[in-house]
C-alpha cells in the first residue's frame, strides 16, 4: 500500500527533526515525522540534568567544531537563541540563565518536548513512532520509505537521526549509512563531550573520585576554564568534557590547578607566613585531598619556609601546567554528542540539502557540526532544523 501524499518525510523525531517538521508544517507542507523510538525527543528529556539547557546566548560559529568552520554560520545566523527564547516564551515556559550564557527550563525538559510536539500537532505533522525504517528507495525524484510494512513516499527526505552517542537510548549511526548510500562523505565520527579515562600511572588520581576543582585545561591552543571532576575511571566535569571534543588520542592535556595565582605566588606566601604548611596554602585554592595528592606526586611539602625559592617556583610551575595523558575516553556510552559525521562539503549551508541529491537533507547531530557544552548543540539542532524546514 502506498501513501504518496507527503511533501517530506523526516527520519528522527529528536530536537532537529521536530524543529524541521514544525517549521515546514507551519508553511503548509505535509510532513511525516518518523522515529523508531516509542516517544519523540528522548534525548531532550534527559538533557541538562532533566532541565534541558536549550540554548546558549553566546552562540557563535567559533564555538562549533567542523571540518568546515564556516558551514554553520548561515543557519546559526538565521535562527538565533533569541528566536528559540521567543518560542519558549510564547509557550509560557519559565527559564533562567545558569552560568556562561546557558539557558535552562525552571521546570522540566518535558516542557520543551511538549512545546515541540504541540507545534508539530498545530502544523498538521503526522508522527509515526515505534517502528524501524525497513527500507529507503529513491527513484523518479521520490524517496520511498517503508515503515511497519507500509510504503510512504515524498519528493524530500530529511535525515535527522542524530549520531551514535548513548546507544542504550536508541542512538544509531543510521544517518551515516543512508548518507553513504547516497554518496555523501563522512568525517570520521568520534565520541565528544566525553569523560577521559586515566591509565595505571595516574591511579593515584582515580582515588580522588568525586573531588572537583576549578581549573584551566589546555590542549594545543584550545583552553577552557571550568570545573574538573575526578572520577573512579579518570577525569570529567565541564572543563574535561569541553577539551575532549578537541583531544586526539595519545596526546597530553595540560591542567592549570592554580589559574588565579601569579608565578611568584608561593614565594609571596612564604615571605608572609613561612610557618604555614604548603598543603594548607594550596588547600585555600583547591580541595584538600587534591592538594595532598598533587604534593605527593611532586614529592614536596612541609612548611613554606623550609622550601627553597627555587623549589616553590618549580612546584607552582608544575601545578600550573600539570600534564595528563588520558588512556582514552569513556566512548559513545558516555559521550554527550558525536563529533564528525556527514560531511558538510556535500551540503548546502543555506538549506542543508545534499548538493548532488536534490530533495535529500540532513540536519542536527548527524552532520559534521559539533558544539561546545552548554546549550550549543541544541541551538545547532534548532538552527539546522529550521534551515531545512524553511527550504523544503
Ligand atoms: P537526537 O539524538 O536528539 O534525535 C535523533 C532521533 O532519531 C532520536 O529520537 C532517535 O530515536 C531517532 N533515531 C535514531 N536512529 C533511528 C533509526 N534508525 N530510525 C528511526 N529513528 C531513529 N545538548 C544541549 O545543547 N544542551 C544540553 O543540556 C544537552 N544535554 C545532553 C545530555 C545528554 C545525557 C546527552 C546524551 C546529550 C545532551 N545534549 C545536550 C546533546 C543533545 O541532546 C544533542 O545534540 C541533540 O539531541 C541532537 O539533536 P538531533 O535531533 O540531531 O538528534
Using a 6 Å cutoff on CB, does residue 255 contact ligand 1? no
CA distance 146 to 153: 9
Q: Whose CA is nearest to atom 18 of ligand 1?
A: 174
DSSP codes, 248-283: -TT--EEEES-TTS-TTHHHHHHHH-TTSBHHHHHT
Between the CA of 329 and the centroid of ligand 1 the distance, in Å, is 20
- What residue ranges define each of the domains in the chain, with the CATH number in brackets? 8-190+338-391 (3.50.50.60), 196-329 (2.40.30.10)
Between the CA of 381 and the centroid of ligand 1 the distance, in Å, is 9
Q: Which of 196, 169, 324, 337 is nearest to 255 (CA)?
A: 324
User: Which residues does residue 222 pair with via DSSP β-bridges, in sequence order?
Assistant: 219
Predicted confidence at residue 170, as pLDDT, reads 85
Out of 9, 10, 11, 12, mutate this one to test ligand 1's pocket (max ligand atoms within 8 Å of CB): namely 12
Grid coordinates given for 208: 580522588
Whether the Cβ atoms of residue 360 and residue 268 lie closer than 8 Å to each other: no
3-state DSSP assignment of residue 337: strand
DSSP code at position 363: -
Predicted confidence at residue 300, as pLDDT, reads 87
Between the CA of 270 and the centroid of ligand 1 the distance, in Å, is 52
Predicted confidence at residue 13, as pLDDT, reads 98
Out of 10, 17, 43, mutate this one to test ligand 1's pocket (max ligand atoms within 8 Å of CB): namely 43
Predicted confidence at residue 77, as pLDDT, reads 98
pLDDT tens track of the chain, all 392 residues? 445 589 999 999 999 999 999 999 999 999 999 999 999 999 999 999 999 999 999 999 999 999 999 999 999 999 999 999 999 999 999 999 999 999 999 999 999 999 999 999 999 999 999 989 988 999 999 999 999 999 999 999 999 999 999 999 889 999 999 999 999 999 999 999 999 999 999 988 989 999 999 999 999 999 999 999 999 999 999 999 999 999 999 999 999 999 999 999 999 999 999 999 999 999 999 999 999 999 999 988 899 999 999 999 999 999 999 999 999 999 999 999 999 999 999 999 999 999 999 999 999 999 999 999 999 999 999 999 999 999 99
Grid coordinates given for 361: 537533507
Whether the Cβ atoms of residue 143 and residue 315 lie closer than 8 Å to each other: no
Cell 548527524 -> residue: 366
Report the length, in residues, of the chain: 392
Between the CA of 369 and the centroid of ligand 1 the distance, in Å, is 14
**Segment holding 75, helix H or strand E:** helix 73-78
Between the CA of 64 and the centroid of ligand 1 the distance, in Å, is 17
CA distance 132 to 128: 10
Predicted confidence at residue 2, as pLDDT, reads 47
Whether the Cβ atoms of residue 162 and residue 41 lie closer than 8 Å to each other: no
Predicted confidence at residue 1, as pLDDT, reads 47
- Cα angle vertex 138, ends 133, 143, to 5°? 60
Amino acid at each position: 500500500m502506498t501513501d504518496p501524499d507527503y511533501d517530506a518525510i523526516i527520519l528522527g523525531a529528536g530536537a532537529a527533526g521536530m524543529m524541521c517538521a514544525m517549521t515546514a508544517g507551519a508553511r503548509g507542507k505535509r510532513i511525516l515525522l518518523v522515529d523508531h523510538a516509542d516517544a519523540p525527543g528522548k534525548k531532550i528529556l534527559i538533557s541538562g540534568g532533566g532541565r534541558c539547557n536549550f540554548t546558549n546566548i553566546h552562540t557563535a560559529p567559533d564555538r562549533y567544531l567542523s571540518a568546515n568552520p564556516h558551514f554553520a554560520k548561515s543557519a546559526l545566523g538565521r535562527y538565533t537563541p533569541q528566536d528559540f527564547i521567543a518560542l519558549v516564551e510564547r509557550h509560557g515556559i519559565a527559564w533562567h540563565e545558569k552560568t556562561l550564557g546557558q539557558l535552562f527550563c525552571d521546570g522540566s525538559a518535558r516542557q520543551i518536548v511538549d512545546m515541540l510536539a504541540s507545534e508539530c500537532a498545530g502544523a498538521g505533522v503526522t508522527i509515526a513512532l515505534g517502528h524501524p525504517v525497513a527500507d529507503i528507495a529513491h527513484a523518479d525524484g521520490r524517496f520511498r520509505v517503508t515503515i511497519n510494512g507500509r510504503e510512504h513516499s515524498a519528493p524530500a527526505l530529511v535525515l535527522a537521526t542524530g549520531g551514535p552517542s548513548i546507544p542504550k537510548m536508541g542512538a544509531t549511526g543510521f544517518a551515516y549509512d543512508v548518507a553513504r548510500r547516497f554518496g555523501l562523505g563522512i568525517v570520521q565520527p568520534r565520541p565528544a563531550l566525553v569523560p577521559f579515562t586515566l591509565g595505571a600511572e595516574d591511579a593515584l588520581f582515580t582515588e580522588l573520585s568525586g573531588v572537583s576543582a576549578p581549573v584551566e585545561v589546555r590542549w594545543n591552543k584550545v583552553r577552557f576554564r571550568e570545573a574538573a571532576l575526578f572520577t573512579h575511571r579518570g577525569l570529567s566535569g565541564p572543563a574535561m568534557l569541553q577539551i575532549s571534543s578537541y583531544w586526539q588520542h595519545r596526546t597530553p592535556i595540560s591542567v592549570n590547578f592554580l589559574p588565579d595565582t601569579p608565578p611568584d605566588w608561593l614565594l609571596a606566601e612564604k615571605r608572609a607566613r613561612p610557618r604555614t604548611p604548603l598543603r594548607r596554602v594550596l588547600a585555600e585554592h583547591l580541595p584538600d585531598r587534591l592538594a595532598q595528592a598533587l604534593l605527593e606526586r611532586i614529592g614536596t611539602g612541609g612548611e613554606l619556609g623550609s622550601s627553597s625559592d627555587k623549589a616553590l617556583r618549580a612546584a607552582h610551575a608544575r601545578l600550573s601546567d600539570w600534564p595528563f595523558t588520558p588512556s582514552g575516553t569513556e566512548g559513545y556510552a558516555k559521550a554527550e554528542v558525536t563529533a564528525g559525521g556527514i560531511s558538510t562539503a556535500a551540503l548546502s549551508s543555506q538549506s542543508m540539502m545534499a548538493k548532488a541529491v536534490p530533495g535529500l537533507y540532513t540536519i542536527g547531530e548527524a552532520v559534521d557540526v559539533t558544539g561546545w557544552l552548554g546549550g550549543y548543540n541544541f541551538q545547532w539542532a534548532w538552527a539546522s532544523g529550521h534551515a531545512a524546514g524553511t527550504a523544503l
